[in-house]
Amino acid sequence: MDGVLNFLKPPGITSHDAVAICRRILKEKRIGHSGTLDPMAYGVLPIFLGKATRLIEYTEGFDKTYVAEGCFGSFTDTEDSSGQLVLPDMNIGLANGVILNQSSSDVSSLVHIPTMDELATVFETFLGEQTQRPSKYSAIKINGIRAYEYARKGIDVELPTRQVHIKSIELLAYAFPYFTVRITCSSGTYIRSLLRDFFVKVGIPGTMTQLCRSQVGQFLINEAYMAEELMVHGENLVQPVDTALSFLSKVEVNDVQLIEMKQGKELAITDAFSHTVVHQLYRAYGPQGFIGIMRRTPQSMKVEKNIFI
């Protein structure tokens, strides 16, 4: 079975668990996912089956959209509601000298409660390129070991910072101590870490309480399928392999060119390729349909990834 499934991962399981569920239902051994989603989170998790697994590397850079809920009150070690209450692991100045680790109801009596406009203004400061320090409970590998494995053992390690890009951020709802925000960002952005930095900037402790990923590239949550639906409809819910590459422009080859490609030859730049741009990737189609990915070089079109040639 070759194709792509827009899977709706439920909260409470890992992305690896989600893949195992799909493998069991669809009975496909070659299967993987793009863009890990935290266990507490739910939402879009693209699943790749069969030969489509060879395309995962081209989709991991997709922009992603999240809807997150945060709650003022306390910091946690995991930076979400699954963790334990802790003091912040950085030097920060909190608004009005607020005492850390108070319950949400107590915090309201200790600090100025910000307005919705004030919170929106703080969120806007995170727009654009920025350096982010991931959570120590993230899945980042350090010396071949996941950061969260060190954290669970109480081992302190230096986490590398990363450049992320917040494309848009919108405060959707707010009633102290809770708020809901929608964020579109580059791949590799940690939303709970973004909210951690937001709480620090506001000057009131807090943590992320819910997280939904509503979009990954062209995959939308309102078009995603739950495991229960997959059990009923099976492979009918699996989309064609090239669905994941809709962001790439299309090129077509004829029978003669396809034979040359099968022989490992690069194709001359004909009129059919006049619209192509040097170094860019393209979805390639032969007389029978999608065949793979091609790259335009200064002198030719060459096969970048052979899927059905």
Helix (H, G, I), strand (E, B) or coil at 66: strand
- Identify whether 177 is preceded by a cis peptide bond (ω within 30 of 0): yes
Closest CA to 58 of 34, 31, 28: 34
Helix (H) or strand (E) holding 42: strand 42-49
Q: Is the Cα torsion angle 150, 154, 159, 165 positive or negative in sign? A: positive
Rounded distance, CA 136 to CA 152, Å? Answer: 9
Task: Determine what percent of the chain falls in helix, strand and coil, rounding each to the nearest 5.
Answer: 30, 35, 40
Residue 24's contacts (CB-CB under 8 Å, 6 or more residues apart) are: none
CB–CB of 187/60 below 8 Å?
yes
- DSSP state string for 85-133: EE--SS----GGGPPTT--HHHHTTTSPPPPHHHHHHHHHTT-EEEEE-
For 285, left (φ over 0), alpha (ψ -120 to 50), or beta?
beta
Of the candidates 2, 17, 38, 63, the residue annotated as catalytic is 38
Q: What string of H, E and C letters represents the secondary structure of 219-241?
A: EEHHHCECHHHHHHHHHHHCECH
Place of tokens 């100045």: 93
- Taking the C-alpha atoms of residue 306 and residue 117, their distance in angstroms, rounded to an integer, is 52
Identify whether 38 is a catalytic site residue: yes
Helix (H) or strand (E) holding 286, with range, is: strand 281-286
What is the distance between the alpha carbons of residues 296 and 306, in angstroms, rounded to a whole number?
Answer: 15
Which residue numbers are catalytic?
38
